[in-house]
Structure 1
Amino acid sequence: MFVPTKCFFTKGVGIHKDKLASFELALRQAGIEKYNLVYVSSIFPPNCQLVSREEGLQHLSPGSIVYVVMARNETNEPSRLVSAAIGHAMPKESNTYGYLSEHHAFGETAEVSGEYAEDLAATMLATTLGIEFDPDRAWQEREQTYKASGRIISTTHTCQSAEGVMDGRWTTVISAAVFL
């Protein structure tokens, strides 16, 4: 059984007349185009260490089967704002699993999409840890509740956003958590 011990975040944007080629260019910008990507669900493994993109890429070889949690969005509409975000929440105990979340949106800035994904990951973790909170409160208030509980040590996100180009070519955005 494979349990990842390292993970890195990456993101990219690609623009091309063909939808698939636009996705390929986004993967290239993210540095993960040479791998066979397998999409997995959103559990961040216990004792998994976050590393930089540069360090993570050094562990991979072209053609490798690589597990990712990926958010992806695309448009060919001029000026349409697209975003793709990955949220991350970690419990205090390193031997306990955390959460990742994917969010893909239209009309949201990178900041809004990123915070939404981070909120989603933290909320999923909080519910598994039994942390009581008011789901109708703003993210910033809930974030303080989560961290004040002493059971959630960190939350973060990575997000890519872009506007559709004026000539109607495809614009694709991706954000990914890549497991090693």
Structure 2
Amino acid sequence: MLPLPKKYFVTAASSEGESKLTAFDRALLGARVGNTNLLRVSSILPPGCEYEPDLVIPPGSLLPIAYGSIVSDVPGEVISAAVAVGIKKDSFGVIMEFSGKCTKEEAEQEVRKMVEEAFRVRGLELEEVKVASAEHKVEKIGCAFAAVPLWY
């Protein structure tokens, strides 16, 4: 059985690269998770998980992470990614992610709506929402990335 993560933060970044993969990699570096091995998880923040915005993840770590990302090679296109964490003290939380051809404000609006719906269908009271987002205007090949890394 895997241990439950005890800490998290929200992060977002965007970047250009010479390829789609290197644009993604550079966005990961900007979001402080580029030297880790991402283990993509879905949408539940464990109970008791504490927000630590300055958390440093050791290089090479296997990192549970919920994220949204988009890569584009259309010059001038605006792309964005956002994550939101819905929080209820003394309960689990819900993480939602979104990416698309839109502004960061539109991406933030989408993830907030998804968090509100997730809490409503679970019958939970939403007490707080944390959001991170990134917007990027593509020059050659660009990436927008937003994530909620979970740690122990």
TM over 0.5: yes
* 2:134 equivalent among 156, 160, 165: 160
CA distance in structure 1 between the partners assigned to 2:11 and 2:74 by the alignment:
25
Determine which of 60, 65, 83 is the counterpart of 2:62: 65
Alignment: residue pair count: 150
Task: Report the TM-score, using the length of structure 2 for normalisation.
Answer: 0.93
CA shift, 1:31, in A, is 1.3
Structure number, greater radius of gyration? 1
1:77 match: 74
* Alpha-carbon distance in structure 1 between the residues aligned to 2:117 and 2:84: 11
User: Could you say which residue in structure 2 is the equivalent of 1:99?
Assistant: 94
More helix by share: 1
Distance between the aligned counterparts of 1:34 and 1:101, measured in 2?
Answer: 23
Tell whether the 8 Å contact from 2:10 to 2:130 is kept in structure 1 after alignment: no
RMSD over aligned CA atoms reads 1.2
Structure 2 regions of 5+ residues with no counterpart?
A: none
Query: Deviation at 1:22?
Result: 0.8
Identical columns (%): 21
Q: Is the 8 A contact 1:8 1:51 kept in 2?
A: yes
Structure 1 runs not aligned, ≥5 long: 131-150
3-state DSSP class of the match of 2:23?
Answer: helix
User: What's the offset of the Cα at 1:25?
Assistant: 0.7
| Structure 2 residue aligned with 1:40 | 41
TM-score under structure 1 normalisation? 0.79
Alpha-carbon offset, residue 95 of structure 1 = 2.7
Partner residue, 1:134: none
Tell me the distance in 1 between the aligned counterparts of 2:136 and 2:15: 9
